[in-house]
């Protein structure tokens, strides 16, 4: 009797172990004829992942693309990684079309323009290819299955709070002069970055403790096409001359810039106008780009928001892996991100404020950069 029991237990164990080591279940998601280079026979993933990034001209998307590529490959997947020229919407659309027809079983997309992918993604939906919106939400498409990003509102709030603290606004100091700059109007994140920052700054603008001498306070008026550094610089050069800012002119106390590529344009314009580290306004940013970190070390940018692209990349790999294997990806936000077709379940990673006080620990000790990268 005892022997029979042991045998029965052994059979159960073998069967359940077999189930754990099973090849990914068919999710019905991939109706195409994907050829995998996967040689794993155990828990590894199978299939080809299409990764569409917006541009190679900004540092972060190169990092995001490279991090995801290597993490997906390490998990056993084949990867088709494409960059949409220099923020060229038509290029991104045709690359996604090729991914759909080329047998990708999941698409991971950071949209150039969140509103421009509805038609192409209808093709993904038709083939049951799941789509993960990466960093930026894709609007008006019911093909979007999940969204992985950082807490974008928190990014903006942290920028607003940095200025609030740098100027001592909470203790009633002021009035101070401030200017604002944000990113591309087609990037849905801008609503959250700008909205988050203004949730902190607007009450001070309303009470007169912050004054915006250019008069440009609306999101669209302070937007920057393509998040482009030269365009940001040109707009600030105009503001400097029209308002009369300068080390010997009107005092500029703070600039809320939504990210580093725009902050760099602001810094260039201010330096050209004669500003130095000794009279530099409190300037925010986001991404911890090397160029901005060098500015920070030189006293020409006060803060950046660190969004560890390794964390986001790994999160997306595990989400995609769960989908391929017929499981449920982990999400931590099911209320915030409605793309016009309904709320998209999201995983939000945490952004962290980076200043001279903690950059070594955040960026160097964690292996994100070497000291030499920032010299």
- Which stretches of the chain bind ligand BGC, using CB under 6 A? 58, 60, 135-136, 183, 187, 189, 227, 259, 261, 286-287, 307
The smaller minimum CB distance to ligand BGC, of residues 189 and 339, is found at 189
The smaller minimum CB distance to ligand BGC, of residues 113 and 135, is found at 135
Q: How far apart are the C-alpha atoms of 360 and 363, rounded to whole Å?
A: 5
Helix (H, G, I), strand (E, B) or coil at 361: helix
The smaller minimum CB distance to ligand BGC, of residues 145 and 261, is found at 261
Shortest distance, position 50 Cβ to ligand BGC, whole Å: 19
DSSP 185: T
Shortest distance, position 108 Cβ to ligand BGC, whole Å: 14
Q: How far apart are the C-alpha atoms of 1 and 328, rounded to whole Å?
A: 41
Q: Which residue is nearest to ligand BGC (CB)?
A: 259
Find out whether 319 and 71 touch, Cβ atoms under 8 Å.
no
The smaller minimum CB distance to ligand BGC, of residues 60 and 209, is found at 60
Shortest distance, position 258 Cβ to ligand BGC, whole Å: 8
Shortest distance, position 364 Cβ to ligand BGC, whole Å: 20
| Cα Rg of the chain (Å, integer) | 24
Shortest distance, position 194 Cβ to ligand BGC, whole Å: 12
Q: How far apart are the C-alpha atoms of 302 and 67, rounded to whole Å?
A: 27
The smaller minimum CB distance to ligand BGC, of residues 227 and 245, is found at 227
The smaller minimum CB distance to ligand BGC, of residues 135 and 179, is found at 135
Shortest distance, position 47 Cβ to ligand BGC, whole Å: 27
Q: How far apart are the C-alpha atoms of 178 and 129, rounded to whole Å?
A: 46
Question: What residues pair up with 338 in beta bridges, in sequence order?
Answer: 343
Shortest distance, position 64 Cβ to ligand BGC, whole Å: 9
* Residue partners of 72: CB distance under 8 A and separation at least 6: 45, 49, 51, 79, 317, 320
| 175 prior amide bond cis, ω within 30 | yes
CA-based torsion, 240, 241, 247, 251: positive or negative: negative
Q: How far apart are the C-alpha atoms of 210 and 249, rounded to whole Å?
A: 18
Find out whether 131 and 124 touch, Cβ atoms under 8 Å.
yes
Question: What residues pair up with 109 in beta bridges, in sequence order?
Answer: 52, 133
Find out whether 28 and 106 touch, Cβ atoms under 8 Å.
no
Distances (CA, A) of 191 to 43, 54, 153, 223: 40, 18, 8, 11
Shortest distance, position 79 Cβ to ligand BGC, whole Å: 21
The smaller minimum CB distance to ligand BGC, of residues 75 and 190, is found at 190
The smaller minimum CB distance to ligand BGC, of residues 141 and 261, is found at 261
């Amino acid at each position: 009797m005892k022997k029979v029991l042991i045998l029965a237990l052994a059979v159960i164990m073998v069967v359940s172990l077999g189930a754990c080591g099973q090849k990914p279940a068919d999710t019905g998601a991939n109706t195409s004829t994907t050829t995998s280079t996967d040689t794993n026979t155990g828990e590894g993933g199978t299939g080809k992942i299409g990764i569409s990034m917006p541009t190679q001209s900004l540092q972060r998307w190169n990092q995001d693309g490279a991090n995801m590529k290597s993490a997906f490959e390490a998990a056993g997947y084949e990867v088709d990684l494409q960059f949409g020229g220099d923020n060229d919407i038509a290029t991104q659309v045709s690359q996604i079309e090729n991914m759909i027809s080329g047998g990708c079983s999941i698409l991971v997309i950071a949209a150039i323009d969140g509103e421009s992918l509805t038609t192409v993604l209808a093709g993904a939906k038709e083939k049951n290819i799941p789509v993960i919106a990466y960093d930026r939400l894709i609007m008006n498409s019911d093909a979007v299955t999940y969204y992985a990003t950082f807490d974008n509102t928190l990014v903006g709030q942290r920028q607003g709070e940095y200025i609030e603290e740098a100027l001592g606004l909470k203790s009633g100091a002021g009035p101070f002069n401030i200017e604002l700059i944000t990113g591309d109007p087609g990037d849905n994140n801008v609503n959250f970055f700008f909205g988050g920052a203004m949730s902190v700054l607007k009450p001070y603008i309303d009470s007169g403790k912050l004054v915006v001498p250019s008069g440009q306070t609306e999101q669209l008026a302070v937007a920057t096409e393509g998040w482009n550094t030269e365009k940001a610089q040109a707009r600030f050069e105009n503001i400097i001359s029209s308002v009369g800012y300068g080390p010997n002119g009107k005092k500029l106390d703070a600039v809320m810039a939504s990210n580093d590529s725009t902050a760099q344009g602001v810094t260039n314009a201010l330096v050209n106008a004669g500003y130095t580290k000794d009279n530099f306004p409190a300037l925010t940013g986001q991404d911890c780009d090397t160029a901005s970190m060098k500015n920070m070390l030189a006293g020409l940018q006060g803060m950046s928001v660190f969004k560890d692209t390794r964390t986001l990349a790994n999160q997306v790999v595990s989400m995609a892996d769960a989908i391929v294997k017929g499981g449920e990806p982990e999400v931590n936000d099911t209320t915030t991100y409605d793309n016009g077709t309904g709320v998209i379940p999201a995983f939000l990673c945490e952004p962290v404020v980076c200043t001279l006080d903690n950059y070594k620990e955040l960026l160097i000790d964690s292996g994100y950069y070497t000291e030499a990268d920032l010299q």
